[in-house]
Amino acid sequence: MANRISSEPLPENSQRLVGRDAMRLNIAIGYAIAQIVKTTLGPKGMDKMLVSDIGDIVITNDGATILEEMNIEHPTAKLMVEIAKTQDKEVGDGTTTSVVIAGSLLRNAGNLLDKNIHPTTIIKGYEMAEAEALKLLSDMSKEVKVDDKEKLKKIALVSMGSKGIGSVKEKEHIASIVIDAVGQVAEENNGSFTVDLDNIKVEKKEGSDVMATELVKGIVIDKEVVHSGMPKKVENAKIALVDSPLEVEKTETDAKINITSPDQLEAFLKQEETMLKKMVEKIKEAGATVLFAQKGIDDLAQHFLSKAGILAVRRVKRSDMEKLSKATGARIASTFDDLSADDLGEAGLVSEKKVGGEAMVFVEKCKEPKSVTIFVRGGTEHVVD
């Protein structure tokens, strides 16, 4: 019989469990979650069709996706979901396996509890088993060199089994792209290689087939060129990255300017124009042919940039600015006054392209880029995800 505490008011038809009863309930729920995804595991695993409240359909055998789409409220069940999310974030695969193992460990813990073994003893036993498992895995593991593309391809193909990629040809195409991307950004240090996955940008756009997915040796920005009169294509580009606005700076305090005549208004506007022209001149003097600004670009400044033949993109995310810096070798300047030729980066081609009916800017053909883009294509949003 479950222990019930009635000293505090509880919602109708509810009860509070404590001690072993609470443990057994939590174990049962954790094991039930594991059983839900267990049937998707392995080469003969089955897909599940998930239908949302609004009728959206997702078909997948990926454990993390299944659990994320479920409407889960119980705290223990949420912990099982977090196991899958952590596994997906850290490794990118094995989400179902991690949940199934966790469910089996919970069930075995329940059997040990029924034999009156204390929870602390069970935890210590699991910690000992973990240490032994890690030792065995270390002994079983084999070194894979970064230039051994065949082995790396096999590893990549294993994790694609649950990602909704259809044919073998499509999987091999994606696997080759991933391997090339990793090889491009890998950094050697004392004979070992490290890969910072933040240096691989994944840009997704539906509207084509999976085989159109490509590795861009540079960065793809989901923005458009700011002015219609600017060039849409610049070869052998000299790239400036600036994180300040190309606008007339506003004062920090509120100020009023009394203009009593047309001449005063004209002088005021002329001064603004002069300030913007000076900023554009700094860009030209540095030798830049492409500008990426983290903040805004004034309409008049856009006109001056257009007349100078400079391709410009505004309000670029900070993360994209940092990736552009690694891909092109450019340094991010704090202000336009600080900008010099030494700060400029290089790319073989910068162009605006229409993809899926939307304009995007491609910075490609970079020399030895340390940040690249996997440009993922697919027929639907679910496929590209």
Tell me, yes or no, whether 134 lies in a domain: yes
Q: What is the pLDDT of residues 29-65, one digit of tens each?
A: 999 999 999 988 887 888 888 887 787 787 787 788 8
CA pair distance 152, 77, nearest whole angstrom:
35
Tell me, yes or no, whether 252 lies in a domain: no
Tell me, yes or no, whether 363 lies in a domain: yes
Q: Is the dihedral of CA 179, 181, 183, 189 positive or negative?
A: negative
Q: What is the pLDDT of residues 139-167, one digit of tens each?
A: 998 888 877 888 888 888 877 765 556 67
Indicate the average pLDDT of the chain: 86
Tell me, yes or no, whether 274 lies in a domain: yes
CA pair distance 286, 341, nearest whole angstrom:
5
CA pair distance 69, 63, nearest whole angstrom:
10
**Amino acid type, 344:** L
Confirm if 220 and 311 have CB atoms less than 8 A apart: no
Q: Does residue 227 sit in the same domain as residue 356? A: yes
Give the residue ranges of DSSP H helices in the chain.
Answer: 19-38, 63-69, 75-90, 95-114, 119-140, 149-159, 168-185, 262-286, 299-307, 318-328, 381-384
Q: Report the pLDDT value the prediction gives residue 8, as an integer from 0 to 100.
A: 59
CA-based nearest residue to 289, from 331, 329, 222, 233: 233
Q: Does residue 208 sit in the same domain as residue 225? A: no
Q: Does residue 51 sit in the same domain as residue 181? A: no
CA-based nearest residue to 339, from 281, 297, 277, 274: 281
pLDDT reading at 361 higher than 80: yes
User: Could you please report the per-residue DSSP string of 4-38?
Assistant: ---SS---TT-----HHHHHHHHHHHHHHHHHHHH
Q: Does residue 234 sit in the same domain as residue 316? A: yes
Tell me, yes or no, whether 334 lies in a domain: yes
Query: Of 84, 115, 140, which marks where a domain is finished?
Result: 140
Q: Does residue 233 sit in the same domain as residue 168? A: no
pLDDT above 70 covers a percentage of the chain that reads: 88
State the Rg of the chain over Cα: 29
Q: Does residue 39 sit in the same domain as residue 118? A: yes
How many angstroms separate the Cα of 14 from the Cα of each of 4, 6, 8, 33?
10, 11, 12, 22
Q: Does residue 225 sit in the same domain as residue 360? A: yes
CA-based nearest residue to 184, from 319, 322, 323: 323
Q: Does residue 91 sit in the same domain as residue 127? A: yes
CA pair distance 30, 33, nearest whole angstrom:
5
Give the mean model confidence (pLDDT) for residues 310-336. Answer: 95
Query: Of 109, 140, 171, which marks where a domain is finished?
Result: 140
Q: Does residue 163 sit in the same domain as residue 241? A: no
Give the residue ranges of DSSP H helices in 287-317.
Answer: 299-307
CA-based nearest residue to 311, from 328, 290, 285: 290
pLDDT band at 239 (very low <50, low <70, confident <90, very high): very high
Query: 237: domain CATH number?
Result: 3.50.7.10
Long-range contacts of 78-85 (CB under 8 A, 24+ apart): 79/30, 80/30, 80/33, 80/34, 81/33, 84/37
Give the mean model confidence (pLDDT) for residues 290-317. Answer: 95
Q: What is the pLDDT of residues 164-222, one digit of tens each?
A: 566 788 888 888 999 999 889 988 887 778 888 899 999 988 888 888 899 999 999 99
**Whole-prediction pTM value?**
0.74
Residue 137 dihedral angles phi and psi, to the nearest 5°? -65, -40
Query: Of 101, 118, 140, which marks where a domain is finished?
Result: 140
Q: Does residue 355 sit in the same domain as residue 282? A: yes
**Count of domains observed in the chain:** 3
Q: Does residue 199 sit in the same domain as residue 236? A: no
Tell me, yes or no, whether 12 lies in a domain: no
CA pair distance 385, 373, nearest whole angstrom:
15
Tell me, yes or no, whether 338 lies in a domain: yes
Q: Does residue 40 sit in the same domain as residue 119? A: yes
CA-based nearest residue to 280, from 251, 250, 310: 310
Higher pLDDT, 291 or 250: 291
Q: Show the domain range for 161.
A: 149-216
Tell me, yes or no, whether 288 lies in a domain: yes
